[in-house]
Amino acid sequence: MILLKNGTIFSPEYLGTRDILVAGEKIIAIENEIKPSRWAFLEVINLEKKWILPGFIDSHIHIAGAGGEGGPATRTSELSFNEIIEGGITSVVGCLGTDGITRSVCSVLMKAKALKHQGLSAWIYTGSYQVPPPTIMDSAARDITMIEEVIGVGEIAIADHRSSYPSVDELIKVTQEAKLGGLMGGKAGIVNIHIGDNNAPFELIYQVIERGGIQFHQFLPTHCNRSREVFEEAKTYGEKGNIDLTTSSYSFFPDTEVKPSEAFFELLDAGIPMEHITLSSDSGGSLPHFDKDGNLVKIAYGKPNSLFMEVMDIIREEKSQAPKAVQIVTSNVAKRLKLKTKGHIKPGYDADLLVLNREKNAVHHLLSKGQWMIRSGKRENI
């Protein structure tokens, strides 16, 4: 049992200074004061002047590597456990990307299982850029229904020169399979969409919704800040649908991408509902830049800690927005993906807790399901 005392809690809503009692994997109490003498076998940690946040949920991360657009030598490696937790991340949703040819959904699934074994929470999307999507059990619906870790399909690429350019009917079929798998498996059954930078990037989704009788919440378009043009389209889409901003690529492409923290404030100013906004890292994937003729000019590699850095940039810019900054990487993601015990600091929820050192804007402690991942800024030996 662990007692965290005197921390300032963002659940993500601001709760003030409280004590949190953790037993096993769960939060069992949050009170103004919890006296240690009431409990045996108790570790007491004083967190005065520290902030306590829910562990971050990265809903789009290439845990098993990705890339390859520049040839075999540009395939990226698996993300390490340390890279993930250094970004305050306790839950991940892994995916394939461009390469649904030499890589498999099985490899992503096994990496997710490895991360779970190490103490994180991990899920995956079945599929890749291509339609029809590669799967494990010959059907996206069957993967979602039968495999615990599979919660949706993705990332399906549209409006991108690397896409298989699915028709409206093809994307309707994929989306209905995801929906059916979600219904049967009690999961989100969401379709994670890679938005490219072609003209009218959201048009295919609009057509699928209109013709297929499908709801906006069935889709999670990502990379919505990849260019100013795409971002302006995303503002209109975000009035009704979910939009996800990518954090790992801005530092490599500052001349083309909209910085996620700045995009966040623009979305609020545009009146986009808070519940429609999330951040994800897209880390582990390659970040290729192509010229106008489609030739690869340069390629970079995204990092998981970009998620943490952008949240900190929002808070530094306007401290009063801290609850909303936390919301877009915790409760919004958990609600959208139906991760029922994630995203909040509440009794009965998983003890995924990020303790923030506000003086350094750094991860001070990190608990994942009640297990120490980082203590006093150092990786725990698990």
Q: What is the pLDDT of residues 179-213, one digit of tens each?
A: 999 999 999 999 999 999 999 999 999 999 999 88
d(CA 370, CA 24) in angstroms, rounded, equals: 6
Kindly report, residue by residue over 71-119, the tens digit of the pLDDT.
888 888 899 999 999 999 999 999 999 989 999 999 999 999 999 999 9
pLDDT at 380 over 60: yes
Bridge partners of 56, per DSSP, are 89
Adjacency order of strands within the sheet including 89-94:
56-61, 89-94, 121-126, 150-158, 190-195, 219-222
d(CA 84, CA 41) in angstroms, rounded, equals: 30
Q: Is 293 annotated in the active site?
A: no
Catalytic entry in 19, 99, 244, 282? 282
Question: Do 319 and 10 touch, CB atoms closer than 8 A?
Answer: no
Per DSSP, the residues of 74-94 read GBPPPPPHHHHHTTTEEEEEE
The structure tokens 């495999």 sit at: 147
- Walk me through the domains of the chain, giving residue ranges and CATH numbers: 2-53+343-379 (2.30.40.10), 56-337 (3.20.20.140)
Kindly report, residue by residue over 32-58, the tens digit of the pLDDT.
998 887 666 789 999 998 999 999 999
The pLDDT score that the predictor gives to residue 381 is 64
pLDDT at 296 over 80: no
Kindly report, residue by residue over 214-245, the tens digit of the pLDDT.
999 999 999 999 999 999 999 999 999 999 99
